[in-house]
Amino acid sequence: MAIFAALPMTPVDWAMASALILVGSTLQAATGVGLGLIAGPILVLTLGGSAAIFIAIMLNLALSLLLLPQESGEVLRPQLLALTLGAIVGIPLGWLILQQLAPLTLKTVAGVIVLLAALQLLSTRFRGNGDQNSAGPASGRLTLLLGGLVSGVMCGCLAIPGPAALWAMLRCGLPPLGVRATLRALFAISYAAAAAIHFGLDGIASQPWLKTMVLLPAVLLGLGLALLIRRWIDAGTLGMVLNLVLLAIGISMLWRSWLEIQANV
């Protein structure tokens, strides 16, 4: 138990965070989304503050780099370039916003974003691949740039780049396999850029490396578990599990925020 003495979390909080990160990693590897929507919010819930966001960024970066080679041939490079240009502008803005947010505000914002992401995934599930873009290539590039910008802000602030980028690509009517592979590539780029900003502005030695390393095994275990469950559980069922987890996390975060607000009144 000596290792827990160095962590600002109880063994129960560590176990809860590890379990949910394991679930998120498994769903991410099996379906294309999951860890980015779970790691940041659950770490904000258990740790609070910018340290939680840094840990989420590093865990997501590790998983993204491990998964990317599997689908690199499916990446839509022109669309990835547009998303990346927007994200590179948005990530520093997200970092600046993160520095201004109190822990309670960060928790509330993360809860709202998670609930909105769950609704977005449900909408995508029932409507299919979204509306086809009929406004021409120029409008498609603008949509991707805007989606990349918002994605970057959310990555720098909450380590959640997925929802905005997914919305932009679905609006452009891109094929599902290309969307999934391009999201993986964007995640790797965005999380690497966000990590570089934390290193450059906060320093490397000051980052919570021990907390990150203690949670990393859950990511690796989730990756291995995904290879097993994909043989027996279809993507639709896994997507429904993700939605249920996101709804539970979002509601829990907003409820905890409400209780803290009441306690401070």
pLDDT in tens, 35-60: 888 888 888 877 777 788 899 999 99
Candidates 131, 123, 118; CA nearest to 41 is 118
The yes-or-no verdict on residue 8 having pLDDT over 80 is no
Mean pLDDT across the chain, nearest whole number? 83
List the single range of 87-96, 133-142, 225-234 with lowest mean pLDDT: 133-142
Q: What pLDDT, on a 0 to 100 scale, did the predictor assign at position 132?
A: 47
Tokens for 196, please give them: 């570089």
The yes-or-no verdict on residue 249 having pLDDT over 60 is yes
pLDDT digits (tens, 9 = 90+) for 121-157: 777 766 655 444 444 555 688 999 999 999 999 999 8
Provide, rounded to the nearest whole percent, the portion of the chain with pLDDT above 70. 89
The yes-or-no verdict on residue 164 having pLDDT over 80 is yes
List the single range of 18-27, 120-129, 151-160, 248-257 with lowest mean pLDDT: 120-129
Q: What pLDDT, on a 0 to 100 scale, did the predictor assign at position 74?
A: 85
Tokens for 202, please give them: 């906060």
Q: Helix H segments across the chain?
A: 2-5, 11-31, 35-46, 49-71, 77-100, 103-127, 137-158, 162-171, 176-202, 209-229, 235-264
- Which distant-in-sequence residues (6+ apart) come within 8 Å of 120 by Cβ? 163, 166, 167
